[in-house]
Chain A
Amino acid sequence: MDLEKESPLSSLAFLVSACSLAYQFLFVRLLSFSVQNEVLVQSVSLGVFLLFVGVGMQLAPRWLKNRNPNQFFFFLEFSLSLFGASVPLFVYGIDIFCILFVDSFSFLAGDGKIFVFLWIPAALGFLTGFELPTLFQLQKKKNFLHLLSFSYFGAIAGALGFSLFLFPRANLGWIGVFLGFLNLCLAVVVAWPFQKQRIAIASMIGALCLYLQLFLYPEIQSAFVKTYVMQFRWTQSTTLKQWWKSLSGLKEVERISSPFQMIDLVPDGFLLANPLGRDFSLFINGQLQFTRDSVLGYHESMVFGAFNLAKEVPARVLVLGGGDGLLAKQLLRAGVEFIRMVEIDPKMIELAKRNPSFLDLNGGVFQDSRVEVVEEDAFVHLISSEEKWDAIFLDLPFPTNYDLLKLYSVEFYERVRNRLTDNGFVTFDAPVWAERSELKSSERPFPQDTIFQTLKEAGFSTPFIFGPKEPFFFARKDGASVRFSPEKLPKNLSGKTYYNLVLLEDIVFDLDGIEPNRILKPQRIKW
């Protein structure tokens, strides 16, 4: 390529910057699965990336002295291509390490975990910082700002190209390798005219490494998923070999990534050691949703507990979330006439309709004429529909990120309240629960306090909580007081359910100074 001309150099500046930004967003995507505060991940890693771009740019003139810029550029892009493509391997690798070695109560277990990963955007930024000064050396008519502007334009291409085009279409390992190849090609283009033989050998080796990554990625992903599902902990007696051996004895966990969430399906017979082999369970965003054995107690107490408190079986029920169909099964069993299920994720519905283990648990409720399924965001559905419901059941994922936190906000509960008939009620699982005695008062607000305050702010004057084992919130629109009538409970419920149907009246909520969770002033609800 004739680098004496402006346009090839500008396109180079554009492309290399697009690649770097795309690696950066690839990293952010991966990390936000394990550090679930997306805003923190996105913001801090961007800051570190930019800071090190600055450092690289400052050092570049000194490092470039007496060096051939073409060669240096090849070296730079070669390293970026291999490093960038390995980002998924690094993230999963460190994640495995954290599960094995980091104590779950330490600073590094929560949001603090991000610090273990920050060297990745730092390294990406550092290498990226050298790119422009090197291209500047290659430029004949010295115009740094011209190059800089093209590199900025490349940034938007990288950001949008990754988020809107690559991410929805391919898995993250493949995207890393794709970007790596692109980067490697750019490296070869610049250095080719100078050292044909060496460049050919180096790029061949590089390409081979990238090719190998395609096979390594599924391996390490599977190792990671198994390690976290098992919550493997390192003990003094284990060795790396034993850990690896115990992983290979496990069945594969099916990992399905949708635009909305990460779904992990643990198959029956996952553990060879489990004689019953009834291991089928579902994780969303790394949080356990249910296991085959917990299903009954959970959904039964939610449905029959709420109906018992309400003193009647509502005719029309709206379920927000709950795409697994397990709640709908219990609702039909209790005698509800019509259910509308609003689920955002088509992949979840697909699983619940087709997967044999799911069908076994939900009894194929999707075929039932009393069940209507709507693929829509719960919030949007509440705002755009006009119908009133006798009961609204919220079966939503834990509020692990700001997007989900919106579904636990004053604004959301206000909409829920508006969609209820006059003596209708809402019930939902208390997403996180802190035993008061286990917490220091410095750790306030407790998650349940924030939710309680939020419900009150939204107009539910007297919310209740029931379930010593599995706590649920329950609130009537008219604010009436409720009691359990154990004599009216059906006789065919499971033992766990009976045990769970107790109002937790002794909980004294200390709501002084507790702020409700609002969309524009979010309060994180966490342990």
Chain B
Amino acid sequence: MKLRLLQLLSFLVALSGMLYELSFAHFLSAVVGGTLLQYSITIGIFTFALGVSTILSQHLPRVTFEWVQSILLGTVLASILFFHWIFQEQQEGNFGSWVYVAYVPVFFVGLLTGLEFPILARGLEEKETVQVFAADYVGMFFATLIFPLMLLPQLGLMGSFGVAVGCNILAALLWIWKRRAL
């Protein structure tokens, strides 16, 4: 039961993390241009952030899951507002290198997503860790399938953000509700 729950949580946070990054990448290609380039840069920054958080997590033994989740949600909501503003400004013809500030949330969301897994895997045996880790990969894979095939064509960019935020909130609620069992 405990393992299943952790797997589900790991799946959900990986799904929402990847959806955030894909939506960011698509937003950047809408404002900066060059879809392939923007996706590559976003994926690069994302993995870089995962690397930083891997190191960071060793030095932050007391950070809790709800702490990371709330900061992540706050960051994402703030960056969606920020993106909306950038897009409006750009449509008005206000250009400038500050468009590139839009890469900053990519890094932070990657960083916070990367912190989630080590917290979930805390205190698990090696075999269990591997199983939770596998759910993480499946979550990411699932995100890369539904984003281009369903979310972007059906719901658009803001709708995709919405689904990602939804998964994130779901994970947070699940954690709060079932915390005692863990």
Which residues of A are at the interface with B, using a C-beta cutoff of 8 A?
A: 21, 25, 28-29, 32, 37-40, 42-44, 46-48, 50-51, 53-54, 58, 145-146, 148-153, 155-160, 162-164, 259, 377, 380, 383-384, 401-403, 406, 411, 518-524
> CB distance B143 to A402 under 8 Å?
no
Q: With A48-B141, A152-B52 given, name 17 new contacts (CB 8 A).
A: A21-B44, A42-B39, A42-B40, A44-B144, A46-B43, A47-B141, A47-B142, A51-B141, A149-B51, A151-B51, A152-B50, A155-B47, A157-B44, A160-B44, A383-B93, A401-B35, A521-B156
Shortest distance from the beta carbon of A10 to any chain B beta carbon, whole Å:
12
Q: A268 to nearest B CB, angstroms?
A: 33
Tell me whether B37 is interfacial, beta carbon within 8 Å. yes
Pick out which of these stretches binds chain A: B66-74, B129-137, B164-172: B129-137
Within 8 Å by CB of A522, from B39, B144, B152, lies B152
- Complex: how many Å from CA A37 to CA B39? 13
Query: B51 near A520 (CB under 8 angstroms)?
Result: no
Q: Tell whether, in the assembled complex, residue A47 and residue B140 are in contact, meaning their CB atoms are under 8 Å apart.
A: yes
Report yes or no: B95 in contact with A384, Cβ–Cβ below 8 A: yes
Q: Nearest B residue to A150 by beta-carbon distance? A: B51
B87 in contact with A50 (CB, 8 Å): no
Instruction: Select from chain B the residue with minimum beta-carbon distance to A147.
Output: B54
Residues of A within 8 A of B54 (CB): 145, 148-149, 152
Q: Contacting B145 at CB < 8 Å: which of A21, A47, A155, A259?
A: A47
User: Which residues of the partner chain B approach A53 to less than 8 Å between Cβ atoms?
Assistant: 137
Separation in Å of the A111 CB from the closest CB of chain B? 8
Q: Smallest Cβ distance from A433 to chain B, in angstroms?
A: 21
B6 within 8 A of A: no
Pair A149/B138 contact, Cβ less than 8 Å = no
Instruction: Decide if A159 touches B35 in the complex (CB within 8 Å).
Output: no
At the interface, yes or no: B29 with Cβ under 8 Å from chain A?
A: yes
Does B176 lie at the interface of the complex (its beta carbon under 8 Å from any beta carbon of A)?
A: no
The main secondary structure of chain B at its interface with chain A is helix
Residues of B contacting A50 in the complex (Cβ-Cβ under 8 angstroms): 137, 140-141, 144
* Interface residues as binary, B107-147 with A (CB distance below 8 Å gives 1, 0 otherwise): 00000000000000000000000100110011011111101
Q: Are B134 and A54 in contact (CB under 8 A)?
A: yes
A163 close to B37 (CB less than 8 A)? yes
Whole-angstrom distance between the Cβ of B66 and the nearest chain A Cβ: 24
Which B residues, 151 to 174, have Cβ-Cβ distances below 8 Å to chain A?
Answer: 152-153, 155-159
> Given that A54-B137, A155-B47, A156-B44 are known contacts, is A520 also in contact with B156, CB under 8 Å in the complex?
yes
Q: A525: shortest Cβ distance to chain B, in Å?
A: 12
Instruction: Please determine whether B147 and A43 come into contact, CB atoms closer than 8 angstroms.
Output: yes
Given contacts A37-B148, A384-B93, A520-B156, contact A160 B55 (CB under 8 A): no
Q: Is B78 an interface residue (CB 8 A)?
A: no
Q: Across the interface, do A159 and B40 meet the contact criterion of CB distance under 8 Å?
A: yes
A157 to B44, CA, bound (A): 7
Whether the pair B47, A156 counts as a contact (CB closer than 8 A) is: yes
CB-defined A-B contacts under 8 Å, sample of 25: A39-B35, A40-B149, A42-B25, A42-B35, A42-B36, A44-B149, A47-B144, A47-B145, A48-B141, A50-B137, A50-B144, A54-B133, A148-B54, A152-B50, A153-B51, A156-B47, A377-B33, A380-B95, A384-B93, A402-B35, A403-B35, A406-B30, A411-B91, A521-B156, A522-B156
Contact of B41 among A37, A145, A159, A520 (CB under 8 A): A159
A402 touching B29, Cβ below 8 Å: yes
Q: Which of A40, A149, A380 contacts B55 (CB 8 A)?
A: A149
**Residues of the B chain whose Cβ atoms lie less than 8 Å from the Cβ of A162:** 40
**Which residues from chain B contact A406 at a C-beta distance below 8 Å?**
30
A413 to B92 alpha-carbon distance, docked (Å): 14
Q: How far is the CA of A519 from the CA of B155 in the complex (A)?
A: 12
A324 to chain B, nearest CB (A): 22
- B156 touching A58 by the CB < 8 A rule? no
Q: How does the 8 Å CB contact mask read for B15-45 relative to A, with 1 for contact and 0 for none?
A: 0001000100111011001111101110111
